Amino acid sequence: MQFYAQYDRVLTAEERSFVDKARHFCAGAFSSEAHDAYMRGEPFPSDWYRRWAQEGMLGLQARREDGGHAASFLCKIRVAQEMARHSFAAAFCMNHHQGSLTRLSQTGSARQKEELLPGMLSGDILATIAMTEPGGGSDVAALTTTATPAEGGWRLNGTKAWLTNGLMVNALIVLARVEGADRGDNMASFLVRLDGASSVTRREIMVPGARSFRFAEISFEDHFVPTWALFVPPGEAFKTAMGGINAARVHVAAMCVATLEAAFAEAVAYCDRRHAFGKPLLGHQGLRWELAEVATRLEAANALVFRAAECVERGEPIVTLAAQCKTFAVDTALWGVDQCIRAMGAVGTSGAHRLSMLQAEVRMAAYGDGTNQMLLDRIGRGLAKDYPVASGFDHQ
């Protein structure tokens, strides 16, 4: 598709085949089942994780020797975009698991991989990252979950909140403070199996319209974590967790752009078909200009995402660009999907179209991986460094 051509041009032939596979996988039953579930107020069927795994897609970025495809970042976001065109929530959730799997493949020990990797590749073990707590999310450094040394491992106590797929995950990467470690902030991360343990309790966080995220709060009461499960040692885990945040922001932004592109295409097709006052809706200048505005901002968001994604691919530092990319893509998607719904008249809000689902799901992009306020603050702090006066210009 022309809209995504700049990405697809730089992918390898194998990577382009993953994008094609994702496009075919997501059109049809996947798309309609996700929408049907939304209309019933239910999450999209979990069986799709296994089917996606059978296509080999959960290990997209895992190392080849671990059974993955070692795909590039650009390939990963293009595959996610194909899914986000049908359901932002499904794309976000599948990619959340895939991200944990990739981290395990790239940095896990042999024992950790032996315990978790086969199950994670097949979709039998679903994992997510557990940082946020009921007491706060933006201020990760204030977390209070503790890991106390015990014979053969640690005992975990505390509560994590807003966990993606929290209702059904059976493994977590938990960020916790190790008691008595005395190394920097003492934060370590652990690969934690849940497996119906009585020391673990879950509670659904109900978000109407966004149940496909399966949000939950998970609490630990003296939950045992064996020695082999230490993923990142005390004093290094916070830095490691933050290290991946810029790529995650670009990734979320890429999915927002794809969700808006899909909503926009649906709205344009409808406004071309539907007549009022003797001509198609698109024939009326007032409405046409509104949609033209959406198209323009959509293209700008797409260009920003591509620029940031290329920087991630090259390993360049992109703190400011990633923050700009996410805040602009999220706001453009929220505003743009709403404009599309309005352009279609009342029918745009109804279950006859997918736009109300896309709107309810993409709205959730505004919080994870940095809220707008946090992102703008990040951009603001770098202004003088990022936008210096060019040498040779006189200024006071």
Find the part of the chain contacting ligand FAD (CB under 6 A) among 35-43, 51-59, 131-139, 240-248.
Answer: 131-139
Angle at 230 between CA 80 and CA 49, to 5 degrees: 25
Between 164 and 332, name the residue whose CB sits nearer to ligand FAD: 164
Judged by CB under 6 A, the residue of 28, 118, 136, 184 near ligand FAD is 136
How is residue 379 written in tokens?
């951009």
Find the part of the chain contacting ligand FAD (CB under 6 A) among 123-131, 222-230, 290-298, 313-321.
Answer: 123-131
Contact 222, 157 (CB under 8 A): yes
Which residue is associated with the tokens 């210009």?
Answer: 393
Between 174 and 294, name the residue whose CB sits nearer to ligand FAD: 174
Size of the site for ligand FAD (CB under 6 A): 20
- Residues whose CB is less than 8 angstroms from the CB of residue 35 and which lie 6 or more positions away in sequence, other chains included: 87, 351, 354, 357
Nearest-angstrom CA–CA distance, 243 and 249? 11
How is residue 313 written in tokens?
């691919």
Find the part of the chain contacting ligand FAD (CB under 6 A) among 233-241, 283-291, 313-321, 367-375.
Answer: 367-375
Between 31 and 164, name the residue whose CB sits nearer to ligand FAD: 164
DSSP code per residue over 151-195: TTEEEEEEEEEEETTTTT-SEEEEEEEETT--STT-EEEEEEE-T
Judged by CB under 6 A, the residue of 71, 74, 130, 171 near ligand FAD is 130
Nearest CA-CA partner of 191 in 226, 161, 221: 226
Judged by CB under 6 A, the residue of 17, 106, 107, 138 near ligand FAD is 138
Q: Does 227 bind ligand FAD (CB under 6 A)?
A: no
Nearest-angstrom CA–CA distance, 333 and 328? 8
Q: Helix or strand or coil: residue 222?
A: strand
Nearest-angstrom CA–CA distance, 385 and 371? 22
Q: Does 380 bind ligand FAD (CB under 6 A)?
A: no
Give the per-residue contact string, 311-350, with ligand FAD (x = CB under 6 A; - = no): ----------------------------------------
Smallest gap from residue 266 Cβ to ligand FAD (A): 23
- Helices 355-362 and 31-40: angle between axes, nearest 10 degrees: 80
Contact 330, 252 (CB under 8 A): yes
Which residue is associated with the tokens 């505005």?
Answer: 293
Q: Does 371 bind ligand FAD (CB under 6 A)?
A: yes
Residue 139 burial (CB count, 10 A) = 11
Between 130 and 282, name the residue whose CB sits nearer to ligand FAD: 130
Residue nearest ligand FAD, CB atom distance: 137
Angle at 70 between CA 123 and CA 306, to 5 degrees: 100
Smallest gap from residue 329 Cβ to ligand FAD (A): 14
Q: Does 268 bind ligand FAD (CB under 6 A)?
A: no
Q: What residues are paired with 99 via a beta bridge? A: none
Which residue is associated with the tokens 């700049």?
Answer: 6
Using alpha carbons, list the distances in angstroms from residue 241 to 12, 176, 302, 315. 29, 12, 26, 17
Residues 93-112 that bind ligand FAD (CB under 6 A): 96
Give the per-residue contact string, 143-182, with ligand FAD (x = CB under 6 A; - = no): -------------------xxx------------------
Give the per-residue contact string, 18-47, with ligand FAD (x = CB under 6 A; - = no): ------------------------------
Nearest-angstrom CA–CA distance, 230 and 192? 9
CA dihedral 296, 298, 302, 305 (to 10 degrees): 120
Find the part of the chain contacting ligand FAD (CB under 6 A) among 13-21, 36-44, 270-278, 372-380.
Answer: 372-380
Q: Does 231 bind ligand FAD (CB under 6 A)?
A: no
Between 133 and 261, name the residue whose CB sits nearer to ligand FAD: 133
Q: Does 219 bind ligand FAD (CB under 6 A)?
A: no
Judged by CB under 6 A, the residue of 53, 62, 79, 129 near ligand FAD is 129
How is residue 21 written in tokens?
């596979």
Find the part of the chain contacting ligand FAD (CB under 6 A) among 60-68, 122-130, 253-261, 347-355.
Answer: 122-130
Using CB under 6 A, list all residues that contact ligand FAD: 96, 128-132, 136-138, 162-164, 213, 364, 367-368, 371, 373-374, 377
